[in-house]
Structure 1
Amino acid sequence: MFKGIEFDGKHSYKDFGLTISNPDIGIPSKIKNTERVPHSNVEYDFSSIYGGQEYEERTLTYTFNLAYREKAEYFYLYEAEALRWLMTPNEKKVLKDDRIPGYYFLAEVMTSGNEFKFVGGTLTVSFKAYPFMIAELREGNDIWDEFNFLLDYAQDTTFDISGTKEVTLYNPGVSIVYPKIVTTAGMKVTKGNTTYNISTGTTESYDFFLVPGENKINISGTGNISFEFYKELI
């Protein structure tokens, strides 16, 4: 089976018979916030002042091979069919690349261009995407067959609390993540010098985040609490 991409629920080869050449998922650029001390050669970098490095959106580029079968003008019909699929979404949609199993991008088509020749033709499409590829499986899963010894980290993300307990959550990605917190009772979660009051049920907030690497947390209360998050990689 030819490898391809799945975008907005449809696959380039399985649904359209398109093969791909020259795939390029790009690398996002860092956003640097620097200030130079006047009359000196010293420059300070404030890019990670809030705990993580920011990145520009990345560009994904794929060249689809549109081979016509009967008449030369059919190339444009195949192109129209492919463009209808690719250009219809007006927001970022899930894009899965068969070459990178277990991860997906959030992307939207921004530009396209074709090249028509007597022996066939190509359609090159560029997507603007969220900077990181996102894991399909959440951290703390116990699916051993999917474990990757290079990229994954075995850890607990669900805890039974009775009183106060210190736990460690490890963010194996390169970006700050904002976990969904699910509790069976109200609890206090302390990270660093900040304490968060977590209500019963599901809590999602940009106030509470995990930096890349180790995050030590103190939890006070009685009940069960879980942190649901997904690693994000370059």
Structure 2
Amino acid sequence: MTCDGFSVRGRHLCEDFGLCIADRSLSVPAQKRATVSIPFSHGEIDFSAINGEVYYESRELAYSIDLIADDPAELEAQVSEVAQWLAPVCNDDIAEDSMPGYHWRASAASVGVSRDDSGTAATVEAKFSAYPFALADDECEARIAVGTNPVVNRGSMRARISIVPDGTVTLTVGNLKQTFNGPTATNLYLAPGDNEVEVSGGSALIRWREGIL
């Protein structure tokens, strides 16, 4: 039997607790809306993507975890241990066995428990508010040189560029330009799909982290 679990805060549901996910749900993130209603006109004006990008609200990520014990005291000890593990989750990475290579950035919204009449079985319901994109565990990287460099962001969100320049290097991405002479987390972003990075002054290594909806 395969145990489906997740890890967070240095512990794994299956490996450290001997438990499995009984049920899981993940909401589809809603768009953040910025609209204006003008008197004496039909409908409304939607400015949500005025800069060319759609923004999203957080997702709800929820797990049901079944616990069974030999007696009520043992059950309460299990419930307490799981609750103490999950309740403090705050801007932590949740890595699911079913999504290798990606993780969720999440905070606990609620951790509740329901018990059956026997006193030896319970279900822990843990709900998290998660960043709308699943983030890649590993950063992508590319060497860029003077001239026009094609760079592909295979994710579905804009990805912020970090740079390790060889000397003084100027990057232009879209309409934005920055000059660097040391390792920096830039204010430049790669759009999803194909990008052109203009380089002058020298070569550099760039890194970015992709995310998927």
TM, length-normalised to structure 1: 0.83
Report the RMSD for the aligned CA atoms in angstroms: 1.8
Partner in structure 2 of residue 122 of structure 1:
123
Query: Which residue of structure 1 lines up, in the alignment, with residue 8 of structure 2?
Result: 7
Q: Does 1:231 align with 2:213?
A: no
Aligned partner letter, 1:219? V
SS in 1 for 2:82: helix
Equivalent position of 2:47 in the other structure = 46
* Contact in 1 for aligned 2:8/2:95 (Cα 8 Å): yes
What residue in structure 2 maps to residue 214 of structure 1?
194
Distance 2:140 2:205 in 1: 11
Q: What is the distance in 1 between the residues matched to 2:150 and 2:44?
A: 34
The one-letter code matched in structure 1 to 2:106 is: A
Following TM superposition, by how much is the alpha carbon of 1:135 offset from its aligned partner in structure 2, in angstroms? 1.0
SS at match of 1:105: strand
CA deviations over 1:117-164 (Å, ceiling 9, x no partner): 126211010011111100113224xxxxxxxxxxxxxxxx212x3xx4
Matched, 1:186 2:186: no
Q: Any idea what the Cα deviations from partners look like across 1:197-230, whole Å, max 9, x if unmatched?
A: 122x21113x3112222222211012x3122111
1:195 equivalent among 156, 177, 184: 177
Shift of 1:88: 3.0
Q: Secondary structure at the match of 2:183?
A: strand
Deviates more, 1:42-51 or 1:168-177: 42-51
Q: Comparing 170-179 with 98-107, which one deviates more in the overlay?
A: 170-179
Map 1:1-234 onto structure 2 (within 5 A). Answer: 1-41=2-42, 43-68=44-69, 70-89=70-89, 91-117=90-116, 118=118, 120-140=121-141, 157-159=142-144, 161=145, 164-199=146-181, 201-205=182-186, 207-222=187-202, 224-234=203-213
1:16 shift after superposition: 0.5
Work out the CA distance in 1 between the residues paired with 2:88 and 2:41. 52
Q: Partners of 1:111 and 1:75 in 2: how far apart?
A: 20
Q: Distance in 2 between matches of 1:30 and 1:193?
A: 26
Amino acid at match of 2:111: S
2:91 corresponds to which letter in structure 1?
Answer: K
Structure 2: gaps of 5 or more residues = none
- CA shift for structure 1 position 11: 0.3
> Number of aligned pairs?
210
The answer to whether the 8 Å contact 1:20/1:62 transfers is: yes
Distance 1:5 1:211 in 2: 30
- What is the CA–CA distance in structure 2 between the aligned matches of 1:126 and 1:213, rounded to whole Å? 33
Whole-angstrom CA distance in 1 between matches of 2:44 and 2:190: 28
Identity, % of aligned positions = 26
Give the residue type in structure 1 aligned to 2:143: T
1:53–1:175 contact (8 Å) kept in structure 2: no
